[in-house]
Amino acid sequence: MTDKHAQPASSAAPTAASTPPVLTLLPLVLTVFIGFLTIGMQLPVLPLHLHDTLGMGTLVIGLVVGAQFAAALLSRSWAGNFADIRGTQRAVIAGLITAACSGLVYLVSLAFVGMPLVSVWLLVLGRVILAMGESLIVTGALGWGIGLVGPQHAGKVMAWNGIAMYGAFALGAPAGVFMNALWGFMGIAVATVFIPLLALVVVAKVRVIAPTATRRTPFYKVLGSVWAPGMGLAFCSVGFGVVTAFIALLFASKGWGNSSLAFTAFGLAFIGARLLFGHLPDKLGGAQVALVCVVIEAVGLLLIWGADTALIAYLGTALTGFGYSLAFPGFGVEAVKRVPAQTRGLAMGAYVAFLDISLGITSPLAGVLASGWGIEAVYLGGAVAVALSFGMALLLLMGQANAKQFVHIPYKS
């Protein structure tokens, strides 16, 4: 049932014209920030909890961390159609509540610390539930934002949602380390229950956009339309994956101290790039921006690989964050061009699904690589993968994967 106060997506144009897009998007950006804060808090703590408390190796750590991304992938189709048919507001609200439920599962896992395998499987379940919530929040927020300000500002929507997400990572990481020092993983679990619910107050004040579709669109149709920019996203996201999953273990193995500063360096560089240059994908073109940024990201990963001091590793994570920051909206602008408005939510789900594929595969494969060749090797492998995204950006730029090559998706009411 459509909210009686909801406005169709097409009505967003006058509002977008009279109000700066950033101001229109601000409540949604804050909502995403709050929703992702608990994920940021888990980044430096969960691998150490698995390793130090439960005695798990790098392969298991990679599998548990990667479980969230694999589950998110499987939920993108459902989340995208939910946002298109039921409305983006309902998608975001449902996502926040679902994310809070994952914290309850984390609390239960702590009752089985004496049975490590049981505790690990409960953590996996919690990560799966968290993934479903994250999928609804991201898909809903992207579709909602584009509906509010118009597709001509799609790059800004992605840029500012990214600022919220990675700002939450940057601030959440040191907060998670601090909370873990005081209360252990129990504190992280309790925070995961309550923090997402705070965003419900913010999201309730955002103007509702009416659902854009009345029937479910097969996921594969939209997936086929965004595969080229999606593959670019998948390759460049490997760099993000190896930083989030293994930087804490790298610092521990080198004796470099607090790894949370590496997450902060990544997040601050990511946010700085979005604030200073977030308008460029809309202005210059997504492929052009992505082509440059993936080179910067690859250089950052190579610095981490060869780092012999924490300072060099911090610089590497900062360059990785800076480059990845604009690659995401760069490829994303190319994806938005390839789909009609009525399947925009599903298209955003399909595009982000390539991120899930990348991170779901990266974590366990990097775990195997680390087991055989050391933690440093995962960053060399990450740089090679990011180099492949340069090739995808080049193909898009040369027009060999332009929108004319894809089949238009007809819409039937």
CB 267 within 8 A of CB 312: no
pLDDT value at 11 more than 60: no
- What is the Rg, in whole angstroms, of the alpha carbon atoms belonging to the chain? 20
11 CB-near residues (< 8 Å, 6+ apart): none
Q: Using the Cα atoms of residue 21, residue 27, residue 30 and residue 34 in order, give the sign of their dihedral.
A: negative
Report which of residues 76 and 157 the model is more confident about.
157
Cα three-residue angle 232-69-108, rounded to 5 degrees: 165
pLDDT value at 192 more than 90: yes
Report which of residues 193 and 374 the model is more confident about.
193
Residue 165 CB: number of other CB atoms within 10 A?
26
Q: Say which range, 141-145, 279-283, 348-352, 401-405, has the weakest mean pLDDT.
A: 401-405
Q: Using the Cα atoms of residue 389, residue 395, residue 396 and residue 397 in order, give the sign of their dihedral.
A: positive
pLDDT value at 15 more than 70: no
How much is the pLDDT for 216?
Answer: 64
Q: In the structure, what pLDDT confidence band is assigned to residue 411 with cuts at 50, 70 and 90? A: very low
CB 235 within 8 A of CB 386: yes
Residue 205 CB: number of other CB atoms within 10 A?
9
Phi, psi at 68, each rounded to 5°: -65, -45
Q: How is residue 136 written in tokens?
A: 């609804």
CB 403 within 8 A of CB 333: no
What's the rounded Cα separation, in Å, for the pair 217 and 165?
28
Selection from 114, 145, 136 nearest residue 36 by Cα: 136
pLDDT value at 79 more than 50: yes
Q: How is residue 167 written in tokens?
A: 């700002």
pLDDT value at 49 more than 80: yes
Please count the residues of the chain.
Answer: 413
pLDDT digits (tens, 9 = 90+) for 148-185: 888 778 778 888 887 888 778 778 888 998 998 899 89
Report which of residues 19 and 56 the model is more confident about.
56
How much is the pLDDT for 406?
Answer: 40
Report which of residues 248 and 6 the model is more confident about.
248
Q: For all residues of the chain together, what is the average pLDDT?
A: 82
Burial annotation 85-122 (CB, 10 A radius, 16+ → b, else e): bbbbbbbbbbbbebbbbbbebbbbbbebeeeeeebbeb
Segment 299-314 shows an average pLDDT of 92
pTM of the model: 0.69
CB 350 within 8 A of CB 206: no
Q: Say which range, 132-141, 249-258, 313-322, has the weakest mean pLDDT.
A: 249-258
Helical axes 88-110 vs 185-203, angle rounded to 10°: 160
Q: For the chain, what percent of residues have pLDDT higher than 70?
A: 88
DSSP-derived letter for residue 257 is -
Enumerate domains of the chain plus CATH numbers: 12-206+216-405 (1.20.1250.20)
